[in-house]
Structure 1
Amino acid sequence: MAPAVLFLVFTYLMGVSRGSLNCPTGKLNPLQFHLVRQCQRAAADEALALENTSSLKECADLAHDMRGLALNYAPGGPKRRLNAFDQRSFGKQGDKEQRIRSRLSVFEQPGEFFNCHVLKCPQNNTFSGMVNDSRFDYYSLYGRPTVVRNYSCIPEVGLFVVYTQPSAYLNASLTCSNSSEFTGSLAHIASEHRTSLLAQWLVEFNRKSQSLAEGNVYLAYVGLAYNSSTSLSPLDFRNSQGESLQCFLYRAWDGGHPRVGGDLGNASCVALTPQGTWQTLNCDRELPFICEIHTARSTFGWEQSSSELDIGPNAVFECGRDRV
């Protein structure tokens, strides 16, 4: 067979093999920031980035690059150059406030100098960190806040819920995917960034649990398991979306893990330790587990991003009349 033909056959087989691994294609389907509140901005005291951008898309692209989970954006235009909610005083009181503001750096008053604020975390249920500012709109990857109240944000990673009530792996997976409070799955951990930050989160969770006289979490199920009906090899562990670990470069196996083959065939479910390592365990073993809250479903184009608009308590109802 000619070398060119051999090369084409090899390329085809490699494509089929990689396709069967169900590798993610995130670059082709980037996460979308959804409009959540109009004429309001979230506090940007610890923003990942403060910039002036020419468009919402440019601001969103920056947020993707910085791993931001939410953003404030001021679209500009004749009706949105001034903050209609600005209550600055006049006379002596106004002069005093002006002197105070003059001492602040541009980074201490981002709403005055930057139209794009990339944020580490989205607002929670209460929107307690919101400021009425008709120049800005607030966007989040998660759309409207989830109704669950005990979730945690890991900056630059996502939103998670830890369940301390031990459960077998299958039941843990079903609890995450069938929750009535959020759309989610067992946590994705196939990167150094995610594994290390989730492990640090478990350490902090245990520290808080000690002060509350609650039990610590030394092992927690996450979204990684071997399934003999879908996996292509003994090391072909799959996450909750069915994507193979072979699609990712990072591994954090603890010493002696993964345990595969022979009598250890059922040791095929993965748990995370607070030390940032992965262990394979019998899937029937009952353990705490970590659910990851999924981002809001993407729509087609920015013009439809208002599908997640929140009009709950403290929303600015009259803002829509002033939009340009």
Structure 2
Amino acid sequence: MWLLLLSVSPLLALRCPSENPAPLQFHLVRQCQRAATADALALESTGTLEECMALTRELRGLALNFAPGGPGRRTNRFDPQPRELASSRRQKDARNRLSVFEQPAEYFNCHVLACPQNTSFAGMTNDSRFDYYSLYGRPTALHNISCVAQVGLFVFYTQPANYLNASTSCSNASEFSGSLAHVASEARTYALAQWLLNYNRQRVGEHPEPGILLAYVGLQFNVSKSLQPLDYRNAQQESLLCFLYRAWHKGHPRVGGSQANASCVALTPNGTWQTLSCEHELPFICEIFTPPRANTNTQLDTGANAADACY
């Protein structure tokens, strides 16, 4: 009897993101309303909602406006009806002076948006031709949510906590489903560090104590799960070895004997990562998850700012 010994690469045992993840699901949030398009990633005319969603995924948009067309949806019932012909002519003349991109609802039925609406739906316009969709469904009640365009929604907590308590605060929050922020990309690290930098700048002259120098993010070395010294893992246990991006501060990560006492990772305002003891109490950054596909039909919002009469 022969025994065949196989040499298995450590990478095969890593938990990496799926190469073919399920397409991100956009949820219908408001009917007969559209979000502002001042910072739209694209304005297009597509044949179907699915084509508009596919375009939004391609451009990494987080929300969209779509006008389905068809009976009852070709004109905006919320347009004010002028009482006099002169008023109608003035309105028409004003529209003629605007460019196509200054009135996108008149020319494009698919608006790809970099960020979703939050809390109050500020910037929404009643327009019976359009419906509004978001990756995040109905907004949470939190007012300290920050959107990183084309990346996601994050919540910054300035009250310090150790790593375990910070992680628990993110995963057990009643207002949202989330975890400590994933930072293994240049866009994520740069944008979140910029928020810390701006926060510190706003405090200059107002508070004598220093601002945020470090904030916990979702990277940790766990000796019981990590396969090698640089196998730091995010909140979903995906290894940093699965990603190409690194932003280690000079002298970090600490490895060898010192790693046991410096196995958690914090972000600096300069956009670098530092390793330190998980018992340090620091501010922290949570990332909000998108709702699961099972909740697709439960995200329609009919709150106080919804359109009064859709059809």
TM-score range, shorter chain: over 0.9
Aligned to 1:171: 165
Aligned residue type for 2:271: G
**Matches for 1:63-102 after TM superposition, within 5 Å:** 63-89=56-82, 90-102=84-96
1:126, CA displacement in angstroms?
0.8
Of 20-29 and 238-247, more deviation after overlay is shown by 20-29
Deviations 1:109-133 (CA, angstroms, capped at 9, x unpaired): 1110000001111111111211111
Q: Secondary structure at the match of 1:62?
A: helix
Contact 1:41–1:137 (8 Å) recurs in 2: yes
Distance in 2 separating the partners of 1:177 and 1:236: 22
Aligned to 1:3: none
Picking from 284, 291, 297, the partner of 1:289 is 284
Q: Secondary structure at the match of 2:188?
A: helix
Q: Secondary structure at the match of 2:72?
A: helix
Distance in 1 separating the partners of 2:175 and 2:78: 34
Aligned to 1:33: 26
Identity of aligned residues (%): 61
- Which stretches in structure 2 are left out of the alignment for 5+ residues? none
Picking from 121, 131, 139, the partner of 1:127 is 121
Aligned to 2:202: 208
- Which stretches in structure 1 are left out of the alignment for 5+ residues? 1-5
Distance in 2 separating the partners of 1:311 and 1:19: 47
Aligned to 2:110: 116
Aligned residue type for 2:236: Q
Aligned to 2:302: 311
Aligned pair 1:228/2:223, yes or no?
A: yes
Aligned to 2:247: 252
Contact 1:70–1:120 (8 Å) recurs in 2: yes
1:27, CA displacement in angstroms?
3.5
Of 224-233 and 207-216, more deviation after overlay is shown by 207-216
Of 203-212 and 165-174, more deviation after overlay is shown by 203-212
Distance in 1 separating the partners of 2:99 and 2:296: 33
Aligned to 2:132: 138
Aligned residue type for 1:23: C
Aligned residue type for 2:105: G
Normalising to structure 2: TM-score of the pair? Answer: 0.93
1:21, CA displacement in angstroms?
1.4
Aligned to 2:257: 262
Aligned to 2:52: 59
Picking from 146, 151, 156, the partner of 2:145 is 151
Deviations 1:272-316 (CA, angstroms, capped at 9, x unpaired): 1111111101111111111111112124xxxx7332111111212
Contact 1:188–1:223 (8 Å) recurs in 2: yes
Q: Secondary structure at the match of 1:218?
A: coil
Aligned pair 1:238/2:233, yes or no?
A: yes
Contact 1:144–1:308 (8 Å) recurs in 2: yes
Deviations 1:39-70 (CA, angstroms, capped at 9, x unpaired): 11001111111011111111111111211111
Aligned to 2:40: 47
Distance in 2 separating the partners of 1:26 and 1:172: 30
Picking from 245, 264, 272, the partner of 1:277 is 272
Contact 1:311–1:317 (8 Å) recurs in 2: no
Report the CA distance shift for 1:177/1:211 in structure 2 as closer, same or farther (over 3 A). farther
Deviations 1:201-260 (CA, angstroms, capped at 9, x unpaired): 211122223365375111110000000111111110000111000110101111000001
Aligned residue type for 2:88: G
Contact 1:33–1:143 (8 Å) recurs in 2: yes
Aligned to 1:218: 213
Distance in 2 separating the partners of 1:155 and 1:91: 43
Q: Secondary structure at the match of 1:258?
A: coil
Report the CA distance shift for 1:125/1:215 in structure 2 as closer, same or farther (over 3 A). farther
Distance in 2 separating the partners of 1:109 and 1:146: 30
Distance in 2 separating the partners of 1:158 and 1:273: 20
Distance in 1 separating the partners of 2:48 and 2:181: 33
